């Protein structure tokens, strides 16, 4: 008996010691020699941007009648498919966003490329599924958080590779003024900040507002330092705004962003501009503008969303006041589906899930004179489509050295009734180990390898339009299931072979 006890106890201790030693060595290695991911295609990227720069002589509004449109992307953080009144919310009132929808196109089958922040934002800006930019494992953490180091230890990285090509880099090369305001979430080390990826100006926070520290940056400098006491993991999750913060007053963030956005537009009114306004809210924790707090019937979450609605209204008013409405494509969307306290509408799943509620998000496109007022389309598209669409509108050819998964969706904007979806199929990647897609949909059906529910570790085929991912049709429609399963397997194998999509 004593001998057995010694063996059991000894083995346990040995394993703990070995693991600790291995992790310590890896930690030391990262601290001393860490090389941020992704310099492989830097040369090709620079050559491409040079070519774009050569082609464009910086068109100005006065000189060139064919000037490309200004583009404003308003990206909300964790806003769910059902959080806007135009998408069915009965408690929260969003009259200004609804008005933009009435003046333009409202899409009911638009997707973020991931059910969480970092990969979705990488996809939006690069036009590629998250695995291409090595952002397919959950989200990035603040540099000082131990999780940032842990991510690097696990080979997941904590910053966007420098050889990725982003919309602002291309549009800047094509003569656009480029500005970003708000949440970046694609890296916090020099060389990986917004100003390093084509944004001429930046104002905002580098991470989600539940992460610490939450410094407010202007370009590369901290404008307001966050001195809040640190939690162990450097992140908290609570919808209530009871945290004593010693940094930027989060209640002022939406207003600050809005003022900066309007200033950016005013300053750049005479040349094509690209503004990426990536709001901090309605991500938890919630901080509402004190001037309107308590007004929404949707509680503090509603207050926060209604702040965003007022912000969007102010932005649109500025565009209209400057006479830029007909020259400016405004896109309003979200980075992923509703978190626990937002509304996915009638969709199944939430933030973090590959079910529809995790990735289907509002998308409103307003461009008076180009996009017909009052249109609604259920044709599917994804935020990876913005890269080719915006480059197309600017008259820039896509880079040829890499796979761009997105497709030009401008015809859907212009003629939603006749144009088809730019995709035959869209793929869904899980939050963890997201290197391979686990679901795929076409216009009518969605195939899941497994939803992970009890009793559902098996293939599932669902009707996307007539059912909310409840009833499994795989036995009824084996051919439809097999076709989608084949696409999924084949794209998975392609990604295993060449995850970054180099050509």
The one catalytic residue in 3, 134, 136, 185 is: 185
Q: Which is nearer to a second copy, 456 or 486 (CB)?
A: 456
Nearest alpha-carbon partner for 204 in 217, 213, 191, 192: 217
Which one of 101-109, 236-244, 394-402, 409-417 is the stretch in contact with a second copy (CB under 8 A)? 236-244
Sign of CA dihedral 134, 137, 142, 146: negative
**Of 118, 410, 421, 468, which one interacts with a second copy (CB under 8 A)?**
468
Assess contact for 278 and 182: CB atoms under 8 A: yes
Nearest alpha-carbon partner for 353 in 294, 430, 463, 455: 430
By rule CB under 8 A, what string of x and - marks binding of each residue 338-377 to a second copy? Answer: xxxxxxxxx-------------------------------
Examine the residue annotation and report whether 286 is marked as an active-site residue of this protein. no
What does the DSSP 8-state code read for residue 193? S
> What DSSP line would sit under 100-162, residue for residue?
HHHHSEEEEEEE-SSSSHHHHHHHHHHSS-GGGGT--SS----TTSHHHHHHHHTT--SS--T
Tell me if 470 contacts a second copy by CB under 8 A.
Answer: yes
Give how many residues touch a second copy by CB under 8 A: 56
Q: How many angstroms separate the CA atoms of 315 and 279, rounded?
A: 13
Which one of 169-177, 212-220, 396-404, 468-476 is the stretch in contact with a second copy (CB under 8 A)? 468-476
Least distance in angstroms from the C-beta of 33 to a second copy: 33
Tell me if 438 contacts a second copy by CB under 8 A.
Answer: no
Examine the residue annotation and report whether 117 is marked as an active-site residue of this protein. yes
Assess contact for 337 and 360: CB atoms under 8 A: yes
Q: Which is nearer to a second copy, 125 or 354 (CB)?
A: 354
Tell me if 290 contacts a second copy by CB under 8 A.
Answer: no
Q: How many angstroms separate the CA atoms of 225 and 394, rounded?
A: 38
Q: Which is nearer to a second copy, 194 or 302 (CB)?
A: 302
Residues in the chain: 503
Tell me if 455 contacts a second copy by CB under 8 A.
Answer: yes
Tell me if 222 contacts a second copy by CB under 8 A.
Answer: no
Q: How many angstroms separate the CA atoms of 261 and 236, rounded?
A: 28
By rule CB under 8 A, what string of x and - marks binding of each residue 67-96 to a second copy? Answer: -------------x-x------xxxx----
List contacts with a second copy (CB under 8 A). 1-2, 4-10, 12-13, 80, 82, 89-92, 237-240, 284, 294, 296-302, 338-346, 451, 453-456, 458, 463, 466-468, 470-476
Residues belonging to the active site: 117, 185
């Amino acid at each position: 008996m004593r001998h057995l006890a010694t063996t059991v106890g000894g083995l346990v201790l040995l394993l703990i010691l070995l693991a600790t030693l291995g992790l310590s060595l890896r930690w030391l290695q990262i601290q001393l020699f860490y090389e941020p991911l992704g310099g492989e295609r830097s040369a090709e990227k620079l050559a491409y941007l040079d070519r774009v720069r050569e082609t464009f002589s910086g068109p100005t509004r006065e000189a060139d009648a064919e000037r490309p449109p200004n583009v404003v992307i308003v990206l909300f953080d964790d806003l769910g498919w059902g959080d806007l009144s135009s998408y069915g919310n009965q408690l929260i009132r969003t009259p200004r966003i609804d008005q933009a929808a009435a003046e333009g196109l409202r899409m009911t089958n638009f997707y973020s490329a991931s059910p969480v922040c970092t990969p979705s934002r990488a996809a939006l800006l690069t036009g590629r599924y998250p695995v291409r930019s090595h952002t397919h494992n959950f989200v990035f953490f603040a540099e000082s958080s131990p999780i940032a180091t842990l991510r690097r230890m696990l080979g997941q990285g904590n910053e966007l590779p420098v050889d990725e090509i982003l919309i602002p880099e291309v549009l800047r090369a094509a003569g656009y003024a480029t500005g970003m305001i708000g949440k970046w979430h694609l890296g916090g080390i020099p060389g990986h900040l917004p100003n390093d990826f084509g944004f001429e100006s930046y104002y905002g926070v580098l991470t989600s507002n539940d992460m610490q520290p939450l410094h407010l940056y202007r370009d590369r400098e901290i404008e307001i330092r966050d001195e809040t006491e640190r939690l162990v993991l450097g992140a908290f999750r609570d919808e209530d705004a009871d945290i004593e913060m010693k940094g930027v007053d989060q209640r002022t963030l939406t207003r600050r962003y809005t003022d900066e956005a309007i200033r950016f537009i005013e300053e750049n009114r005479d040349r094509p501009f690209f503004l990426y306004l990536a709001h901090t809210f309605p991500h938890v924790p919630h901080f509402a503008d004190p001037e309107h707090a308590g007004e929404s019937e949707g509680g503090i979450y509603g207050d926060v969303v209604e702040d965003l609605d007022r912000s969007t209204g102010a932005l649109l008013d500025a565009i209209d006041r400057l006479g830029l409405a007909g020259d400016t494509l405004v896109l309003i969307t979200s980075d992923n589906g509703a978190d626990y306290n937002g509304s996915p509408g009638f969709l199944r799943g939430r933030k973090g899930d590959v079910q529809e509620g995790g990735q289907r998000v509002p998308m409103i496109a307003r461009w008076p004179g180009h996009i017909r007022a009052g249109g609604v389309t259920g044709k599917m598209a994804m935020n990876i489509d913005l890269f080719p669409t915006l480059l197309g509108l600017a008259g820039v050819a896509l880079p040829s050295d890499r796979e761009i998964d997105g497709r030009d969706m401008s015809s859907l904007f212009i003629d939603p009734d006749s144009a088809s979806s730019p995709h035959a199929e869209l793929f869904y990647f899980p939050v963890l180990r997201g290197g391979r897609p686990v679901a795929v949909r076409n216009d009518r059906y969605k195939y899941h390898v497994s939803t992970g529910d009890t009793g559902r570790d098996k293939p599932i085929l669902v009707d996307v339009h007539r059912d909310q991912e409840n009833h499994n049709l795989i036995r009824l429609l084996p051919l439809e299931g097999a076709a989608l399963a084949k696409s999924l397997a084949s794209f998975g194998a392609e990604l295993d072979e060449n995850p970054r999509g180099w050509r």
